[in-house]
Structure 1
Amino acid sequence: MRSATAAASTAPDIYGLCLAAQRDLGPYIRATPLEPSADLARETGGRVFLKLENLQHTGSFKVRGALNRLLALDEGEKKAGVVTASSGNHGMASAFGMRRLGIEGTIFLPETASPLKVRMLETLGATVRFHGSDCEATETYARQQADRTGKVYISPYNDPVVVGGQGTIGLEILARLPRVDCVMVAVGGGGLISGIAGAVKALRPQARIVGCLPENSPAMAASVKAGRIVAVPARETLSDGTAGGIEPGAVTFDPCRTLVDDWVLVSEAEIRSAMIRVFDNHRLVIEGAAGVTVAGFLKMAPQLAGRTVALVVCGGNIDTAVFKRIICPTGDPAARRLRR
Structure 2
Amino acid sequence: MEASVSLDLPTRILQARQRIEPYVRRTHLEYSPGLSKLADGCEVYIKLESEQITGSFKARGAFNKMLMLAERGPEFKEKGVITASSGNHGLGCLAACKRTGIPLTVYCQKHVDAGKRNSLEEQGATVVLYGEDCVDAELEARRTANLSGVEYISPYNDYDIIAGQGTISVEILEQLPEVDAILVSVGGGGLIGGIARYAKQVKPSIKIIGCSPEKSKVMHASVIAKKLIYEESFDTLSDGTAGSIEENSVTFEICRDYVDEWMLVTEEQIGKAVVFMAQTHHKIVEGSAGVSLGAYMFNAARFKGQKVAIVSCGSNISVRSLQDLLNKYVK
* TM-score relative to the length of structure 1: 0.93
Does 71-80 or 295-304 show the bigger shift?
71-80
1:133 aligns with 2:111: no
Instruction: Provide the rounded CA distance (Å) in 2 between the counterparts of 1:78 and 1:254.
Output: 34
Aligned to 1:56: 52
Aligned to 1:42: 37
SS at match of 1:328: helix
SS at match of 1:35: strand
SS at match of 1:72: helix
Aligned to 2:18: 23
Letter in 2 for 1:60: S
Instruction: Provide the rounded CA distance (Å) in 1 between the counterparts of 2:103 and 2:214.
Output: 37
In 2, are the aligned partners of 1:194 and 1:256 still within 8 Å (CA)?
yes
SS at match of 2:299: helix
Q: CA deviation at 1:212?
A: 0.2
The 1:214/1:243 distance shift into structure 2, 3 A limit, reads same
Q: CA deviation at 1:15?
A: 0.8
1:201 aligns with 2:196: no
SS at match of 1:43: coil
1:322 aligns with 2:290: no
Could you report, residue by residue, the CA deviation over 1:173-213 in whole angstroms, capped at 9, with x for unpaired residues?
Answer: 00111111000000000000000001111111100000000
1:33 aligns with 2:33: no
Aligned to 1:254: 253
Instruction: Provide the rounded CA distance (Å) in 2 between the counterparts of 1:255 and 1:10.
Output: 11
Instruction: Provide the rounded CA distance (Å) in 2 between the counterparts of 1:250 and 1:33.
Output: 31
Instruction: Provide the rounded CA distance (Å) in 1 between the counterparts of 2:299 and 2:168.
Output: 22
The 1:17/1:10 distance shift into structure 2, 3 A limit, reads closer
Q: Tell me how many residue pairs correspond in the alignment.
A: 324
Instruction: Provide the rounded CA distance (Å) in 2 between the counterparts of 1:104 and 1:122.
Output: 12
In 2, are the aligned partners of 1:180 and 1:310 still within 8 Å (CA)?
yes
Instruction: Provide the rounded CA distance (Å) in 1 between the counterparts of 2:178 and 2:158.
Output: 29
In 2, are the aligned partners of 1:11 and 1:197 still within 8 Å (CA)?
no
Q: CA deviation at 1:123?
A: 2.6
SS at match of 1:316: coil
Aligned to 1:109: 108
Which structure 2 residue ranges, 5 or more long, are not aligned? Answer: none
Does 110-119 or 209-218 show the bigger shift?
110-119
Q: CA deviation at 1:78?
A: 4.1
Aligned to 2:68: 72
Aligned 1:1-340 pairs, distance under 5 A: 12-44=7-39, 45-73=41-69, 74-75=72-73, 76-329=75-328, 335=329, 338-339=330-331
Q: CA deviation at 1:116?
A: 1.2
Q: CA deviation at 1:79?
A: 3.2
Instruction: Provide the rounded CA distance (Å) in 1 between the counterparts of 2:313 and 2:100.
Output: 24
Instruction: Provide the rounded CA distance (Å) in 2 between the counterparts of 1:195 and 1:302.
Output: 27
The 1:183/1:135 distance shift into structure 2, 3 A limit, reads same
Q: CA deviation at 1:18?
A: 0.6
Does 130-139 or 10-19 show the bigger shift?
10-19
In 2, are the aligned partners of 1:10 and 1:255 still within 8 Å (CA)?
no
Letter in 2 for 1:16: T
The 1:12/1:299 distance shift into structure 2, 3 A limit, reads farther
Instruction: Provide the rounded CA distance (Å) in 1 between the counterparts of 2:217 and 2:48.
Output: 24
In 1, are the aligned partners of 2:76 and 2:102 still within 8 Å (CA)?
no
Instruction: Provide the rounded CA distance (Å) in 2 between the counterparts of 1:182 and 1:11.
Output: 22
In 2, are the aligned partners of 1:166 and 1:191 still within 8 Å (CA)?
yes
Q: CA deviation at 1:77?
A: 3.6
Q: CA deviation at 1:80?
A: 2.2
SS at match of 2:146: helix
In 2, are the aligned partners of 1:217 and 1:243 still within 8 Å (CA)?
yes
Q: CA deviation at 1:13?
A: 2.1
Q: Share of identical aligned residues, percent?
A: 43
In 2, are the aligned partners of 1:10 and 1:259 still within 8 Å (CA)?
no
Superposition CA RMSD, Å: 1.3
Instruction: Provide the rounded CA distance (Å) in 2 between the counterparts of 1:145 and 1:11.
Output: 28
SS at match of 2:139: helix
Instruction: Provide the rounded CA distance (Å) in 1 between the counterparts of 2:187 and 2:224.
Output: 15
Could you report, residue by residue, the CA deviation over 1:132-165 in whole angstroms, capped at 9, with x for unpaired residues?
Answer: 1111111001001101111000000000010000
Instruction: Provide the rounded CA distance (Å) in 2 between the counterparts of 1:140 and 1:157.
Output: 13
